[in-house]
Every structure is written in structure tokens, then in C-alpha cells.
Amino acid sequence: MDKKIELLAPAGDLERLKVTLLYGADAVYLGGEKYGLRANAVNFSLEELKEGCTFAHKLGKKVYFTLNIVFHNNDMEGVYNYMEEVVKTGIDAFIVSDPFIISYIKKKYPQIEVHLSTQNSTTNYETVNYFKKEGINRIVLARELSKKEIKEIIDKTGVEIEIFIHGAMCTCFSGRCALSNYVTNRDANRGGCSQVCRFNFKTNAEDFTMASKDLCLAEEIKEIIDIKVTSLKVEGRMRSIYYLATVIGSYRKIIDAYYKGNLTEKVLKREKDILSRVANRETSSQYFNHEASEKDQYYSGRIEISNQDYLGQVISYDTNKKWIKIYERNYFKIGDLVELFTPNGENIAFTVTELFTEEEIPCDIARHPDNIYYIYLDTNIEIVEYSMLRLLKKKTENIDI
């Protein structure tokens, strides 16, 4: 049997790293305080990076470090010393875009894999074969490829291929954006993207925007595995822990169901419903099934609704009182249908029947974000660290996969 496909998650900080790995990611990608494309994320100090690598490796999982800006002359000072310090933390791979780094890492640190970033906009098998000769271990393809093109690249190169399966899309070609620099003087190719593509521009008729809908390939996981993609990448180093736990948890269930031979329409529908409620934008398969068109874009009249399904993070469970202790994030009340979900992949839907304040005073409504509340729930499932609570519109079916 072929090696199981990798589920690769973003980690904007140490907490996100832990959450995504606990919810089922096989590896994480992250950036440090220099040379990465997410300058606005919290990112990792060297000490945090070392702690993250230790945490991941204890779980038998991996850490990939982004060093993928487009380097200018003034970026060169200190880069080699910085790479040396990063290697000492225990990372498993560098994700790079500038060719000069590839040969340096392969000679200096042969034990470290080198992955070519999507920032390089790789779209054909000859380019893949070129970088294969240069020693690249894996290539993150451009997002603008169809499944037929991806399969042809894999068949003609034999190189490990990573593709994006979920999250925000760039309006410009795989991140090669000049709009941000032109409009706001923030260079998207050096980590400063201001998301100009999501601005509303004034025209003579009405407001205009050019933003892409988000990518979602949940329905295509079977085909992606069948064409022998190596790694499934989720975008979102600046997303919330609830978003990451939900998205990674759903894709984990889809992937596991595939390998167990029970990826049914029922399983897929449940996870797609969950994925659709965690995001605030519409989704599309983008280029995977067809050439992307105006149907995969937002123009005028775009609506993005803030998600308020996330009710809180579970702190603990009192087995005597049958109380869940939660750190509340959004309004909920007695009578609401909610779902507890855990990093172990267990879910339980229930109606809130008893609710108490932090002072253990009965109440009807939890209306103060960042406060502590207790909810009655009689359950035998293991409620571990980073379990969470979300609002449901209707009862979901627990499906054993």
C-alpha cells in the first residue's frame, strides 16, 4: 500500500501548532521572525520554534519552516546565520522560493529537506524536473492547476507534490502580487500583503472588488489521493484556533474514512456542512475541475458574514457535577442545540438544559465573551485539552469512521 497522504496545517503561533497537530494534522508549516510571507502573523521566536518541534516530534509529526520571501539585496545580511539557528531547533524541512537557498541548504544541511514554495509558481513538469536535479525534495504547486495537469506532473517526475486544498486564494497568480506594493507600499512578496484584492473600489456605477472565493476541495479528496499527491495543504496561519481545529478535524475524518473504505456521501456531507459554517466566504473548487471563471470570484455585492458558531473553548470537565467548564466566545442560551468536539475526533450534540456563571449561579444566557461558564452534560467521552463547543442549527449524526 502507498504511503498515507499527509495533512499539512498552518501554524501562526505555538498554540495554533498544538491545536492543529492534536486535531489531526501530520505536519505544520510556520514562519519565524524573518524571511517569511506572513509578516502580520505572530510567528515564532527561535525558542518557540524549538518547543514546537519538540511537541511535534513527540507525536511523530513534522515541522516545515518557511523561508520563502523574494529576496532583495538588503535581505541577505544575516540569512545564513539565521538558517543555522533555525536548523538547531530541529525543523524537518525548509520551504523556499529563491533558488540560491536550495543548493546552500543541500550542501550545508543535507539532513534537512527542501520544499519549493508555491511562491515559485510551478506549473509544469519540466520545471519540476529541473528542481529535482537541484535537489528539491518536494514542490508546492501553483494553485492554478487542474487535476489533469497535477497528475501529469506527478507521472512524469516522481517528485513529492503538495497542493493547497482549503483556504483563501490569491487573485494574482499564486501570490505574485504587485497590487499591495503599488496601492499601500507593502510588498506582498516579502511578507507584507495588505489584501488589496479584497478592497472595495469606487467606480462610476457601483463598488467593485476582484476577490477570489475561498478554495475547498473536500469533495475531491478521493481523486487527489488516487493521483498520488503527497501532501494536502490548508491555508490560514492567521486564522483562529476554532477555524483550524474545525477545518483540520474535518479533513482528518475525510482522509481517514477514505483509507478505511467508508468515505460515504453521508460522511462527506456532514464534514462539508461543518466546513461551510466555519468560514465567512463562499467556496469553490477553483482550477481543480475547470478553468476558473467569474463564478469563482467576487465582484460587486460581496457579503462576508462573521461566524458566531464558536461558543467557547473547554477548560475542564467535572465528572461529579457533570459540568463542562468553558471559556466563552459567543452568545448562547438554554435551549440551544450545541456540539462538543474533541481533538480525539469525538463529537456529541446536545441541548443546553442547565447553565451556570463562574460563581456557580444558575443563568439562562451566556452573553459575556471571555467569561467562564459551566454547562451540564452527562457524558462518558474523554474531554481533553483544546476540546471546543459550537452552535448547531440542526442535530448532526455521529458517524463512526
pLDDT at 196: 73
What count of residues does the chain have?
Answer: 401
Cell 456529541, located at residue = 348
Unique residue bearing C-alpha cell 484556533: 241
CB neighbours of residue 251 within 10 Å: 24
Encode pLDDT of 330-368 as tens digits: 999 999 999 999 999 999 999 999 999 999 999 999 999
Looking at residue 262, its pLDDT comes to 94
The answer to whether 249 touches 23, Cβ cutoff 8 Å, is: yes
Name the nearest CA neighbour of 215 among 287, 136, 280: 287
Percent of the chain predicted with pLDDT > 70: 91
The whole-angstrom separation of Cα 247 and Cα 257 is: 15
The predicted pLDDT at position 398 comes to: 56
Q: Where are the beta strands (DSSP E) in 204-309?
A: 214-216, 231-234, 283-284
Which pLDDT does position 128 carry in this prediction?
97
Show pLDDT as tens, one digit a residue, over the chain (401 residues). 578 999 999 999 999 999 999 999 999 999 998 776 655 556 799 999 999 999 999 999 999 999 988 888 888 888 999 999 999 999 999 999 888 899 899 999 999 999 999 988 899 999 999 999 999 999 999 999 999 999 999 999 999 999 999 988 777 776 677 777 777 777 666 666 767 777 777 777 677 777 788 899 999 999 999 999 999 999 988 889 999 999 999 999 999 999 999 999 999 999 999 998 887 777 888 889 888 777 777 766 556 666 679 999 999 999 999 999 999 999 999 999 999 999 999 999 999 999 999 999 999 999 999 999 999 999 999 999 899 999 987 655 555 55
Amino acid at residue number 327: Y
pLDDT of the residue at 189: 62
Question: What pLDDT does residue 301 have?
Answer: 59
Category of 87 on φ-ψ map: left (φ > 0), alpha (ψ -120 to 50) or beta = alpha
Write down the pLDDT at residue 390: 94
Chain mean pLDDT for the chain: 89
pLDDT digits (tens, 9 = 90+) for 265-309: 999 999 999 998 887 777 888 889 888 777 777 766 556 666 679
Residue listed under C-alpha cell 468553558: 326
Residues 6+ apart with CB under 8 A from 326: 311, 312, 313, 314, 315, 372, 373, 374, 375, 389
Residue 41, classified by CB atoms within 10 Å of its CB into exposed (0-12), middle (13-18) or buried (19+), is buried
Residue 141 CA to residue 160 CA, distance in Å, equals 10
Return the half-sphere exposure (C-beta side, CA atoms, 13 A cut-off) of residue 225.
20
8 Å CB contact between 373 and 356: yes
Q: What is the pLDDT of residue 213?
A: 82
The predicted pLDDT at position 208 comes to 74
